[in-house]
Structure 1
Amino acid sequence: MTRQPEFTPTPERSVQVPSSPIRLALVDDHRMLLGALTEWIRNAADDITMVAAVASWPELTLHPEFPVDVVLLDLDLKDNIPVALKINTLRSAGVRVVLMSTYSEPNVVREALASGALGYLVKSEDAEMIVEAIRAASKGESFISAELDLALNASDIGGAPKLSAQERRVMALYGGGEPVKSVAYELGISEETAKSYLKRIREKYRVAGIDVGTKVALRRRAIQDGILIQDGPAGSL
């Protein structure tokens, strides 16, 4: 009987299967910046595919490629849609969010991250951080720069929140002793709108860890933050 030669199987080689690229959408209403960022990201990262670069929120949600993996979203879109609502909508669709803004105030950053964003970028920071933030978000990890992290940890929780010019006017007048009706008249707005501004002001201070629930507390804080000078509104208003 002829003996068959023994066959030793060749060990299988481990095949590295490349992971799918990160599908990214960018939303910014500054078209020049939108174009520059799009081009930069495409050249800087082979693992990121730019599938949408749009200038408004509706353009994103109606885009044929939506939902994507990660959205790089401008915090400062002037569309009167609360950023918390946008983040909630994206998260419900399985999209991870990185915010970018011109604002670096700790209270603004904290509020954004508390709303569910995984990353926060200040537009003045190095562009390389954009790619780092996108990659981190795609893995469900949070990202802020070392400088911003240091500012958050070092900041006083009692620091003043960012108020709009109109909110500062309302706070100055109301803190200066004017009733809501007079505040509305002075600023040419309705009483309901004036009340809405006061509610927004108090909420911003609440997020910052400061209670201005009473008129006395609001007046004291307005003086402390330079919004109310002595017995009158700040001259810069």
Structure 2
Amino acid sequence: MSDNRIRLALVDDHRMLLGALSEWIRRAADDINMVVAVASWPELLTSPDFPVDVVLLDLDLKDSIPVSLKISTLKSAGVKVVLMSTYSEPNVVREALAAGALGYLVKSEDAEMIVEAIRAARNGESFISAELDLALNAGTVGGSPKLSAQERRVMALYGGGEPVKAVAFHLSISEETAKSYLKRIREKYRVAGFDVGTKVALRKRAIEDGILIESDLPPRS
């Protein structure tokens, strides 16, 4: 099993968070192997376990190295990048995504969502914190929000009639994680000007946005 696990490095100069998050991931995610947990960029690059599969990187490290340079360095080593920040301006988020970061999270994000972001990055999929996604799209009210690949899967299954428990089973995630995805989806649509608070409304929106094909739906009784 260990050969197939995601080899993860965590870089954060807040040592209490570094220790707590490292321990949480070790306990909560059997498919993730935390091989490096360090407080600085040089420690990551000089670690005997580098390169890894995914780096969870604190954007707010107190050094003078541009984040775009860090991301390009990791990309050239074949490493996927998920960034964490206490807060961020939308233009900083855009710069990081343009440089090649696959994930972007605020540190207040649920721990299960951090694990999901790591898994998404390993698969080459993007995962943006709901808070930051809303900030990025603040001027686009009226258009459909941008959903991650996993959010689209959750919306398709749930909108197609599956209960939350079945959605979780199909996607190999916990029921709580599935509920967190639904909450994120509804919040993104709410900010975009669409109410998908009910299952019927969410189903209708999923069809309109091409996430759910009407012919794939089970017949109504």
> Contact 1:106–1:155 (CA<8 Å) still a contact in 2?
no
Instruction: Pick from 63, 78, 83 the counterpart of residue 62 of structure 2.
Output: 78
Distance 1:92 1:40 in 2: 29
One of 81, 105, 108 as aligned partner of 1:121: 105
- AA matched with 1:23: R
Question: 1:41 corresponds to which letter in structure 2?
Answer: I
SS of residue paired to 1:154: coil
The structure where helix makes up a greater share of residues is: 2
Matching residue of 1:111: 95
Residue correspondences, number = 140
Contact 2:8–2:53 (8 Å) recurs in 1: yes
Q: CA-to-partner distance for each residue in 1:140-198, whole Å, 9 max, x for gaps?
A: 11101334323321247xxxxxxxxxxxxxxxxxxxxxxxxxxxxxxxxxxxxxxxxxx
Show structure 1 runs of 4+ deviating over 4 A. none
Report if aligned partners of 2:83, 2:105 keep a CA contact under 8 Å in 1.
Answer: yes
- How far the C-alpha of 1:125 sits from its partner, in A, is 1.8
Q: Deviations over 1:126-146 (max 9, x none)?
A: 121110100000011110133
- What are the within-5 Å matches in structure 2 for residues 146-185 of structure 1? 146-155=130-139
> Which position in structure 2 is the counterpart of 1:91?
75
Unaligned runs of 5+ in 1: 1-16, 157-237
Secondary structure at the counterpart of residue 137 of structure 2: helix
Q: SS where residue 64 of structure 1 aligns? A: coil
Matches within 5 A, 1:7-22: 20-22=4-6
Q: Deviations over 1:188-225 (max 9, x none)?
A: xxxxxxxxxxxxxxxxxxxxxxxxxxxxxxxxxxxxxx
Cα–Cα, structure 1 residues 69 and 55, in superposed 2: closer, same or farther, change >3 Å? same
| Equivalent in the alignment of 1:100 | 84
Q: Which runs of 5+ in 2 are unaligned?
A: 141-221
TM-score, with length taken from structure 1: 0.56
Q: Tell me how far apart the structure 2 counterparts of residues 18 and 52 of structure 1 sit (CA, whole Å).
A: 15
TM-score normalised by structure 2 residue count: 0.60
